[in-house]
Amino acid sequence: MEDLGFHVPSLVVYLINFTILLSLLYVVGYKPILRMLDQRAESIKDSVEMVDRVREEAAAQQVEMQQQMEEGRQEGQAMLTQAREIAEKIRDEATSKAKQEADEIVAKARESVQKERDEAIDQVRQHFAEIAILAAERVIDRSLDGKTHKDIIEKVLGESADLNRS
Amino acid sequence: MAAIKRPAVLLIFVLLLSLVVYGLMNGAIGTSLTSGEGEGTPLLEAPHPHIPPQKIGFPSGKGGESVTSADGFVITNTILSSWVVMIILIGLFYMGTRNMKIVPSGLQNFLEFILESLYNFVQGVAGEENSRKFFPIIATIFLFVMLNAWVGLLPIYPALGFIDHGHMKGHLLRPAGTDLNMPLALALISFVFVEFWGLKLLKLNYLTKFVRLDNLRKGNFAQVPIDLFVGVLELLSEFVRIVSFTFRLFGNMTAGEILLLVITYLVPFVLVLPFYGLELLVGLVQALIFAGLTLVFVVVAVTPHSEEEH
């Protein structure tokens, strides 16, 4: 063994050397580097998880948004339908009111025309009676007493009414 | 651009070819061919490799003399080299981890790459649970063995030495792997490491590998002598590992060192380079084998025997 260089003190030196090297490398090398690798792995894992979470949230939000848009569209559609119905109703009401007013105006007009016509007829009748009396007085040259007078007028008017009717 | 490059490449090629021819002519092979037996003088003197490490003359002894068992504590050229390696390793890691950043760059990136690769290797063999326990020793063995082999390839190693009567008596620095004590120390550490974790994790069950009582308990008395023999073999194999670890590394490193010395003596220039490349590979492979085998042995040691059998 001596020819091969076996030397106990050297062996002890190498054992001590290795122990020192192992301890120092552990402190200045393995520990910080493994910690850094763990930290990085953790950070990458967190990032990936966060990306997944954000992606899921975005997908959920998109679904929710689409749902809200659908709801909004349906609501808008319903409001539009309702507005159309209201507009239809208002138009119908306005039409019927206008028609009613028009009918009332026509009725009033008719009534007024009728009234004016009646008054005109009365006036005409009055004048006619007066003219008739006057004419009769001149024709018969006598004055008629009140009763006779009235009878004659009524008779004439009755005839003229018959004439009007015919 | 090609026009500029081509003459430069040609020049380098001619230079290398000249060096090859010069090396062939003036190396030991060339001189013996051209000048006849014992007449010519090769460019380099014949190497006289010493297997034991040499003293460097501190704290006692004469520089360049081989260490003997009679010597007490002396600093040898291999111990000095191992200290150089330790300083390089610790310095590198200190510089690389001084200002660590979450996004690594430069030296930190390089060191992280090495350690992460090693850690993944350990994790792949030992599993998630035990990888943290085994990693420091395995990584230190790997780095120490590899760098010890590689530093020996630096030109300064064979250049510095102790001159005695015009001859190089011994080198100031010599790769620690070529000193039997260094592989032996690592083998002992590997042995203690394996037994420690085996006992720590399996408690007394670990010893059932050596003392097999299953057949005795079951009444299979015919199997008992076989168990006894297997137990002794197992125990023996634990100690044989120390020897195999030691001489595998020591043999490879010493052979590599001698190979380089001899090839340089035979053909001093250029043709030595492939052997340097080979030694780089040998250093890496030996480090991987030493660290890898220690890892495998410790994993086998901490695996319960019942699990092992299935």
Residue to test with chain B: of A2, A16, A18, most B Cβ within 10 A: A18
A47's tokens: 């990032």
A26–chain B nearest CA distance, Å: 7
Helix (H, G, I), strand (E, B) or coil at A159: helix
Cα end-to-end distance, chain A, whole Å: 167
Q: Is B116 domain-assigned?
A: yes
ipTM computed for the complex: 0.90
Q: Is B282 domain-assigned?
A: yes
* B225-278 per-position pLDDT tens digit: 898 999 999 999 999 999 999 999 999 999 999 999 899 888 888 888 999 999
Contact at CB, B135 and A30, closer than 8 angstroms: yes
DSSP bridge partners of B66: B54
Query: B151 and B97 in one domain?
Result: yes
Residue to test with chain A: of B182, B246, B247, B254, most A Cβ within 10 A: B182
Query: B84 and B22 in one domain?
Result: no
Query: B125 and B94 in one domain?
Result: yes
Task: Please count the residue pairs, one from chain A and one from chain B, whose beta carbons lie less than 8 angstroms apart.
Answer: 126
- The whole-angstrom separation of Cα B93 and Cα B113 is 12
- The whole-angstrom separation of Cα B241 and Cα B187 is 8
**CB-based contact B229:B210 (threshold 8 Å):** no
DSSP H helical ranges for chain A: 8-25, 31-140, 146-165
Q: Is B301 domain-assigned?
A: yes
DSSP state of B167: E
Residue A122: pLDDT band (50, 70, 90) is confident
Q: Which residues of A touch B82 (CB under 8 A)?
A: 14, 17
- The whole-angstrom separation of Cα A2 and Cα A18 is 23
Query: B111 and B101 in one domain?
Result: yes
Query: B92 and B17 in one domain?
Result: no
Contact at CB, A14 and B143, closer than 8 angstroms: no
What is the span of the domain harbouring residue B29? 13-43
Domain boundaries defined on chain A: 8-165
Identify whether A9 is preceded by a cis peptide bond (ω within 30 of 0): no
Taking CA atoms, B232 is separated from A18, B37, B202, B255, in Å, by 31, 57, 19, 33
Q: Say yes or no to pLDDT of B13 above 50.
A: yes
Round the average pLDDT of chain B to a whole number and report it: 89
Number of domains in chain B: 2
* B44-100 per-position pLDDT tens digit: 878 888 888 988 887 776 777 888 888 888 999 999 999 999 999 999 999 999 988
